[in-house]
Structure 1
Amino acid sequence: MKTLLNIIWVIFSGLWLAIGYYIAGIICCILIVTIPWGIASFRIGNYALWPFGREVVETRSAGIGATLGNIIWLIVAGVWLAIGHVVTSIPLFLSIIGIPLGWANLKLIPVSLMPLGKEIVDSNTVLPRYQQR
């Protein structure tokens, strides 16, 4: 079922959202100082391309640097990517088949706003390890 949802997702919204993250990542890597944001953007772009069956968890080792980096990301790119998720989710909610895809879009908003200090894990095998902490 996850594979089918991911295929439908790629067709209707995942490809465009992933391209947006990849463009943000390329811009961040070109500016050299912002390479950590570029790497986070590529990571989230891969998650936006194939989200079902994976979850976003916070890493405990993230410190003040991740917080400051998230504030800068929020101002520069996070708001625009979150708006892209909202705009993409609205037409998906209009059909019954698109409702899970709309929820997946909304699930991506927190990580698009604050990407540093987050890790994307497989929800079936790795997630119980993070819940025990």
Structure 2
Amino acid sequence: MSNLVRLIGITVVGMIYAGSATAATVSCMFMSETQITKDGEWLKTETDFMKLMDIFGDGLELPLENSLLGQLDTQEPFLAGETDRGKVYLMGSEMGVEGKNISIEGNVITIYDGMCDINFG
């Protein structure tokens, strides 16, 4: 009987842990790339869709933790996570979810701007 109770306990804890980690996935399509220096000098902005496709493929996907979902309603930017391409910030708005992928290499800050979808399940 004690083995059955232990197995049920482990199963319940596993289900709680798995369900609380991420509730959704964020999918972002980026429409522009802007580069500025750390001193604030605007270097360039590109809207070359093919270049962005080469960089991100079909878009960027990132798991979104439960604790971050409520921040979409604040309409303020927040750090949603990091990828090998930099930090991903999201902001809920009346138009949907805006996303920015920001990276720093040397003296250059690169910002990719786009719109994101939140997928549950």
Give the TM-score normalised by the residue count of structure 2.
0.22
Structure with more of its chain in helix, by fraction: 1
The structure number with the bigger radius of gyration is: 2
Q: TM-score, normalised by structure 1?
A: 0.20
Which structure: greater strand fraction? 2
